[in-house]
Structure 1
């Protein structure tokens, strides 16, 4: 066997692509720990001599620095790459085609946090060795390429009146758009029944009969556009409102995708070959380890944070007319049209 790597770029070699992913993943996780060539080869399924050959090829083509352990900033090994079914988020990010080299660098930083997570703009820029302005300029490129989705996060301030913006949550996307199914009367009826079940399961959506019907139609339209019910439910219930919802339909319409938005398969589901639904914490939206959950739906880290002294939040549940189900005052039994003079007993 020849001691030289065959001609061609690292993108055309499966072992080089796999080794580059291993080097990037270890560099992000433990940059101060130096792996030996044998350890790198073991992670790639190679012995020491072939591993040294592929590592030298990566160094020769400027994918890895001369030390053999540090990936070159912005370098990618993507063309012709096939992601295995058990690929990590970083392996997926290394093999996916980013809009440009800088976008690929930012994508690998996000993938180092997992398939989804929460990371501030300054932290993303610092991890990529770039400026905050550079990240703000390349973020629209990743969103436009349908490789990352961002979701705004706000929390109620301690005064109970204002909301504070936190770092956006992100989720890696595959870039594969799901086409809307061909509509027919049977599909419309099925979507309507499924929409009713979905909206009724959102416990904070307590609206008038007219707004309940509008909510059913809104969800049914998204289902007919190709959006999975699980994705719509996840967007509707997370995060759970921490105050009284005065306009339920308005909140629901802002949380659900717009009429022109298309559903993009998440990267994790695309790699695994099927949609993955795992229980998530109601507070931070992070999946429970091993698929385990807790009775209150809150993970241990969030429960420890919730033990901090916070001002009490008064939840006001809307009252309804016992005749027409319209929303009435907290002490009313019937609405004005059905006889508002009758009051609840003290």
Structure 2
């Protein structure tokens, strides 16, 4: 099996520093102390692939666009090109896909977010080829259904698949997203290898949350710091607590006061107190509670906090299990298992976290 690998090494850098994306914001992300996360996630995917399919042939670009990560995973990659400069661009991704398509690869395994997915899908469409694509999630936002649930899951799917499905590739306007508005747009339809429970489904909407928000507000305790995640469900809780929260950001609240609005990881850590509670709601349809759209709530934040998961009954009806993908195995392991999810003022539902 020949697999073409394309890594967007800057994908996801804006997440933990509160930028909600990296498009056009790489310099600012670096100034805020952002670190690359895509290369390590690429290694996790390729290591899983190496374990399942040790004889797989990896074809890729030089440096952090794939070759370095492949070597770290135990492969001896075939290198067919290199990026045009020190900082990779969308055009480097597109050029890599064009070159890999001529090398007889059976799959394009890419590492990035929705923007990278668009670059890969549109390029494959221009080539009128039949090569499928599969995403290793590394971006801040994941609205496309071409990604595996985790990097390791991507490696396992790539190692052996016998079924393809047409899946949507979506992207959002990052500037609007930073202002709290989600504008999704269908960019392409791609052929994707699939495996049950190893991939994200398309996002679905939620339901009413008023009684749920009342329940959280009723149980607020003095002196406790609340880290309130993004989304409309937790947004209703913010409103119930009496403040206008950032719709797609993370807000920190304690004793009737907003300590930080639209906080970065470092700002959250600075605001934490003796006892801290993180309140999050899963992404509808996908079921992620950490690792998608809330990278500011990092493993370091979670180590110092309790976690409360909230969701409407309608949202949970479209979710079989919950998922975590923080990139920290210890934290992910501590979060997995059976967890009570608040679904009303008093009601809770038991759901498994994987």
TM-score by length of 2: 0.27
Q: Which structure carries more strand by proportion?
A: 2
TM-score by length of 1: 0.27
Larger Rg, first or second structure (1 or 2): 1
Q: Which structure carries more helix by proportion?
A: 1
Q: Which has the higher contact order (CA 8 A, sep 6+)?
A: 2
